[in-house]
Chain A
């Protein structure tokens, strides 16, 4: 039996809109096990990113409970949430969000600096992560000198360098062409296999959906379908 790493129980999330509230997520019940390669699929405004934010402890639920890697997101202090993210969770974004003034090596090194690791170990891990995404020859390049696909591969290396248990990827292929999208997805699928890292995507890209082993469809903040629940 696989280990459960995230559980969402009857969780709802509301945002204030003037005097009333907008319910972005309604009564979500989900469970994720270690090593999953799953994703939230749905149109804009369906609540995909909000759900990823809550799983990444960047936001808390309004109602219900969310437990990620043994921690109740609702009860986490800011410090504890930061620690959870720095040690166990990696993020990949639609727009890469590399720090433009740092080179590839330094961008990938950044998460490890927060973990106060000794420099020799850090150097080994950074170079290893850059090798995973096939950019060892671009180690000194700045983001402006890289293509979109290369930037996203650096972002993947940055998310994976600390070998997190969970990687949250928000529309990671939205700005990429087909070839680069496949390249990125192949890389992530390989890392999922080799390192056993759990990947949860938010996407409406059919190319991504084809790679997912579990698709959770969201419509208007509610789970419309879940492959796991339907036994696919």
Chain B
């Protein structure tokens, strides 16, 4: 019987064309949207971990309480020995000491007086020991002019700030800030190159300097505001991160000592966890929304198709099918068209997603005006869950549409359906 009905579906394009087209279009959009969102999420993860959070971060407990303010005066000092132990205990992590700071940048004129001043945020990273941090921050790619610092006393400055301050490559600039002890400090640097990260929040005004120079300037020998840790494959692993941070804190963190180290997973820092949760919930709500909207669309198309088929239903009831059987057969038809449409949608969506997975999407214009840290080239990311989350709504919405439309069979008298044979 099922074979007979499916044969009928195949032969009557009114029965399959619209549902399949709707499911195909919706599911392919869903696959692409989800893979785009997944790519966006991963890009956000990568960029945020790269510049802000690491996959894990170790700070002093006092610093952790004011994490968003980056209070480097609450930094961990003289932690080389501890860091060596952590590296040994957690070999799966790669560590990076950083100091994030705010400073005034002062540009002198030919007489040595202030010509212009501005505010900058500073990233102090290890520029000279090896190129790990240079690769991690993608400084080579970000370089717009000049060269990367090659010796102590050189810095990079973002393009916007460079132009705003009317600088030339090789100019000397003075950074003014305060030491960890609160005293005023200033140090001269030579501009070796300009950079552009492609993200508005970073590109407005930032400098990148070697951490040893900044330690000296801030009077914090062997200190680091934050020690970031990254998984070797450079992909954030939430469960493993949670496990490691729990283990670390149990071993090394003392709630009674505000300068004892505390490890925070990326998700525990600021609103990053919340944003990640929003991505996940977004996918769930999008799926439910699609089921709802498509359900309504297919309900209507099912109603139109159903009205056209009342005569057939009447005939089938007359021949001896029960209303339940007729209704069930409609659901089977919907399941069939839903599965076919959704599979085609998955294929189409996958093809489009693979294209953007390979060639990426240039988001640099968006990033110039946005404050979310994402990479300029966004690559769609497909995974089996994405495909499942797209496939299921396609099938479900077709079923929901048919279920709602088919309910009309139960609402009508058998003899009334039968009568429709004559109309």
Of A108-116, A189-197, A208-216, the segment with at least 4 beta carbons within 8 Å of chain B is A108-116
Say yes or no: B8 contacts A101, CB within 8 Å: yes
* B312: A residues at CB distance < 8 A: 97, 99
Q: Beta-carbon contacts of B383-423 to A below 8 Å, as 1s and 0s? A: 00000000000000000000000000000011100110110
> A58 with B418: in contact, given A106-B4, A110-B4 (CB under 8 Å)?
yes
Q: Which residue of A lies closest to B420 (CB)?
A: A97
Q: Which residue of A lies closest to B320 (CB)?
A: A86
Say yes or no: A97 contacts B322, CB within 8 Å: no
* B318: A residues at CB distance < 8 A: 56, 58, 85, 91
Report A134 CB to chain B, min CB distance, Å: 22
A84–B320 CA distance with the chains assembled, in angstroms = 7
* A49: B residues at CB distance < 8 A: 419
Q: Which residue of B lies closest to A116 (CB)?
A: B1
Say yes or no: B12 contacts A114, CB within 8 Å: no
Secondary structure of the B side of the interface? helix
A53–B311 CA distance with the chains assembled, in angstroms = 15
* B324: A residues at CB distance < 8 A: 78-79
Q: Which residue of B lies closest to A50 (CB)?
A: B415
* A114: B residues at CB distance < 8 A: 1, 319-321
A99–B7 CA distance with the chains assembled, in angstroms = 12
Q: Beta-carbon contacts of B295-317 to A below 8 Å, as 1s and 0s? A: 00000000000000001101101
Say yes or no: B320 contacts A97, CB within 8 Å: no
A117–B106 CA distance with the chains assembled, in angstroms = 94
A156–B12 CA distance with the chains assembled, in angstroms = 24
Secondary structure of the A side of the interface? helix
Q: Beta-carbon contacts of A122-165 to B below 8 Å, as 1s and 0s? A: 00000000000000000000000000000000000010000000
Say yes or no: A111 contacts B320, CB within 8 Å: yes
> A78 with B320: in contact, given A97-B421, A113-B1 (CB under 8 Å)?
no
> A97 with B12: in contact, given A58-B318, A106-B4 (CB under 8 Å)?
no
Q: Which residue of A lies closest to B1 (CB)?
A: A113
> A83 with B320: in contact, given A59-B413, A99-B315, A110-B4 (CB under 8 Å)?
yes
* B414: A residues at CB distance < 8 A: 58-59, 78, 81
Say yes or no: A101 contacts B12, CB within 8 Å: yes
* B418: A residues at CB distance < 8 A: 53, 58
Q: Is A23 an interface residue (CB 8 A)?
A: no
Q: Is A94 an interface residue (CB 8 A)?
A: yes
Give the A-B pair count, Cβ closer than 8 A. 74
A89–B317 CA distance with the chains assembled, in angstroms = 12
Q: Is B323 an interface residue (CB 8 A)?
A: yes
A53–B421 CA distance with the chains assembled, in angstroms = 13
Say yes or no: B321 contacts A82, CB within 8 Å: yes
A109–B8 CA distance with the chains assembled, in angstroms = 13
A18–B318 CA distance with the chains assembled, in angstroms = 28
* B320: A residues at CB distance < 8 A: 82-87, 89, 111, 114
Q: Is B11 an interface residue (CB 8 A)?
A: yes
Identify the interface centre among B8, B314, B317, B322: most chain A CB within 10 Å of its CB.
B322
Say yes or no: A93 contacts B319, CB within 8 Å: no
Q: Which residue of A lies closest to B9 (CB)?
A: A101
A55–B207 CA distance with the chains assembled, in angstroms = 92
A128–B402 CA distance with the chains assembled, in angstroms = 37
Report B309 CB to chain A, min CB distance, Å: 10
A81–B312 CA distance with the chains assembled, in angstroms = 18
* A79: B residues at CB distance < 8 A: 322, 324
Q: Beta-carbon contacts of B186-229 to A below 8 Å, as 1s and 0s? A: 00000000000000000000000000000000000000000000
Report A115 CB to chain B, min CB distance, Å: 8
A49–B12 CA distance with the chains assembled, in angstroms = 31
* A53: B residues at CB distance < 8 A: 415, 418
A53–B414 CA distance with the chains assembled, in angstroms = 10
A111–B325 CA distance with the chains assembled, in angstroms = 13
Report A224 CB to chain B, min CB distance, Å: 24
> A86 with B319: in contact, given A101-B8, A110-B4 (CB under 8 Å)?
yes
Q: Beta-carbon contacts of B320-333 to A below 8 Å, as 1s and 0s? A: 11111100000000
A113–B321 CA distance with the chains assembled, in angstroms = 10
A83–B421 CA distance with the chains assembled, in angstroms = 21
Say yes or no: A97 contacts B4, CB within 8 Å: no
Q: B residues touching A (Cβ–Cβ < 8 Å)?
A: 1, 4, 7-8, 11-12, 311-312, 314-315, 317-325, 413-415, 418-419, 421-422
Q: A79-B322, A82-B321 are in contact. List 15 more A-B contacts (CB 8 A).
A: A58-B317, A58-B318, A59-B414, A81-B414, A85-B320, A89-B320, A91-B315, A93-B421, A95-B422, A99-B8, A101-B7, A101-B12, A102-B8, A106-B7, A158-B319
Report the 8 A-B pairs with minimum CB-CB distance, sorted nearest first: A86-B320, A59-B415, A101-B11, A82-B322, A85-B320, A91-B318, A101-B12, A58-B415
Q: A residues touching B (Cβ–Cβ < 8 Å)?
A: 49, 53, 56, 58-59, 78-79, 81-87, 89, 91, 93-95, 97, 99-102, 106, 109-111, 113-114, 158
Can you list 16 contacts pairing A with B, beta carbon distance less than 8 Å? A58-B414, A59-B414, A79-B322, A79-B324, A82-B321, A85-B318, A86-B320, A91-B315, A93-B421, A99-B315, A100-B12, A101-B7, A101-B12, A102-B7, A102-B11, A114-B1
